[in-house]
Amino acid sequence: MTARIELTDAAPHQTMTLEFPSDGVTLTGRVRVPGDKSISHRALMLGAIASGETRIQGLLLGEDPRSTAACFQAMGVTLSPLEDEWVRVQGVGLGNLQEPADVLNAGNSGTTLRLMLGILASHPDRYFAVTGDGSLRSRPMDRVIKPLTQMGAEIWGRQGNRLAPLAVRGQALQPIHYHSPVASAQIKSCILLAGLMTDGATTVTEPSLSRDHSERMLRAFGADIVVDADTCSATVRGPATLTGQTVVVPGDISSAAFWLVAGAITPGSDLVVENVGINPTRTGILDALRMMEADITLENPREVTGEPVADLRVRHSRLRAVSLSGDLIPRMIDEVPILAVAAIFAEGTTTIADAAELRVKECDRIAVMASQLASLGARIEELSDGLTIHGGTPLSGSIVDSYTDHRVAMSLAIAALRTKGPVQIQRAEAAAVSYPSFSATLARLCGLG
Ligand code: S3P
């Protein structure tokens, strides 16, 4: 049997069928992953609200950043084509976004909606309506509406101000010190962005450190921002002045994670993933895979516009089960689905706890990963805040579903590399949210052209 990766289009959905020889598949070569999604959103947003031009190289051309770009274009921000090598954003200056003529649509992107809300709410006397796709309209927005309301924002949403579509009447906001109940970069960034236009110091304290791309980029754009890593706090002082900058976006470690696990679980594999962002608030997946005794080495470490970057080499090795919990989880929150796939091929029982946040991602990633991997034959149990995965059970082909979640679609495709018989992933088009060329890259790394 020869290997195959096929895409079948039945618009609006796509099915990905993957089948590999029973003696396995080996992944070799070099791969460059698309730009970091979190940094891409922030570069577009800060570029839009700064004064002067921002130039962005390496922007992720996925659906999520496209949603961000479209929202800010609708508010008077001029952008060069996103496909350009250097995307140019003509910033309108803080507080100068125009009232859009129509509803702003954040698509599938929680980062777009939540971060943008902090900016919109602080535009006095302007009215905005914001929505998203079916997944986003079911995700909790009260986590940002509540603190923004404490700052004086006026926001209305469905189900008791919890869900989008949302209506916003911009106001002059007051600074606050907000103690977030969850470690969430979206909450933290939303409030810091709202704080830019206040008169005074706005602080966000979180229970453990979430990704700090906003803090780094705000500083680069000229904001007065102080971070206290010991107390997991960030303070921005308003009114701020932001000046357009040059941003070079590193490759997304969340996308690299699929190749790291693919290389680790397939015998004979040896891959180099180039130009990956290794910001310490994002490298929980490297720590977890190393705890599992994966063979991963860092090559050519460097710094690119305020973010650490390296090439990551992964070679196949035997994996051991681990217990993951606590502060590590926010540092690998988007990589838990692919880590669950690695755990299937590890010796022993892996537990992942303190990850209840996964239930409010693009889908309920705990329930969906448990059910979809179980349908391939994995022994996996759902916990209220995580997963238990018993390694060493062989997988066999089945029909599975992405539940329209990009990371679920790609995690299932990587599981298929070690599955006997064909795996059919329904609604596989979801991958384009963060990795439009995923299936073509997978085919190339497997030697399929
Ligand atoms: C993101 C933060 C995380 C992450 C998401 C991107 C960001 O969400 O899951 O994919 O860019 O700030 P939370 O902040 O809700 O944990």
Question: What pLDDT, in 10s, does the model give residues 106-115?
Answer: 999 999 999 9
Tell me what pLDDT residue 2 has: 78
Q: What are 19-76's pLDDT values in tens digits?
A: 999 888 999 999 999 999 999 999 999 999 999 999 999 999 999 999 999 999 999 9
pLDDT interval class at 340 (50, 70, 90): very high
Question: Is 369's pLDDT higher than 80?
Answer: yes
36 lines ligand 1 (CB under 6 A): no
Helical (H) or strand (E) element with 272: strand 270-277
The rounded percent of the chain whose pLDDT value lies above 70 is 100
Same fold, 4-35+250-445 and 37-248: yes
Question: Is 163's pLDDT higher than 80?
Answer: yes
Question: Is 171's pLDDT higher than 80?
Answer: yes
252 lines ligand 1 (CB under 6 A): no
Mean pLDDT of 210-220: 98
Mean pLDDT of 266-290: 98
Span 37-248: which CATH code? 3.65.10.10
Determine the Cα–Cα distance for residues 215 and 192; give it in Å rounded to an integer. 8
* CATH code matching the domain that covers 4-35+250-445, chosen among 3.65.10.10, 3.40.630.30, 3.40.50.10860, 3.30.413.10: 3.65.10.10
Tell me what pLDDT residue 147 has: 98
Question: Is 188's pLDDT higher than 70?
Answer: yes
Closest atom of ligand 1 to 184 CA is: 14
Closest-CA residue, ligand 1 atom 11, reads: 38
Tell me what pLDDT residue 265 has: 98
Q: What are 412-430's pLDDT values in tens digits?
A: 999 999 999 999 999 999 9
Tell me what pLDDT residue 311 has: 98
The rounded percent of the chain whose pLDDT value lies above 90 is 98
Assess whether 9 carries a catalytic annotation: no
Contact 238, 199 (CB under 8 A): yes
Q: What is the 3-state secondary structure (H, E, C) of 164-189?
A: EEEEEECCCCCCCEEECCCCCHHHHH
- Cα-based torsion angle of the residue sequence 107, 110, 114, 116 in order, rounded to the nearest 10 degrees: -40
Tell me what pLDDT residue 155 has: 98
Tell me what pLDDT residue 1 has: 66
The structure's pTM equals 0.98
Catalytically annotated residue among 64, 334, 401, 405? 334
For the chain, what are the domain ranges? 4-35+250-445, 37-248
Ligand 1 mutation target, pool 111, 206, 360, most atoms within 8 A of CB:
111
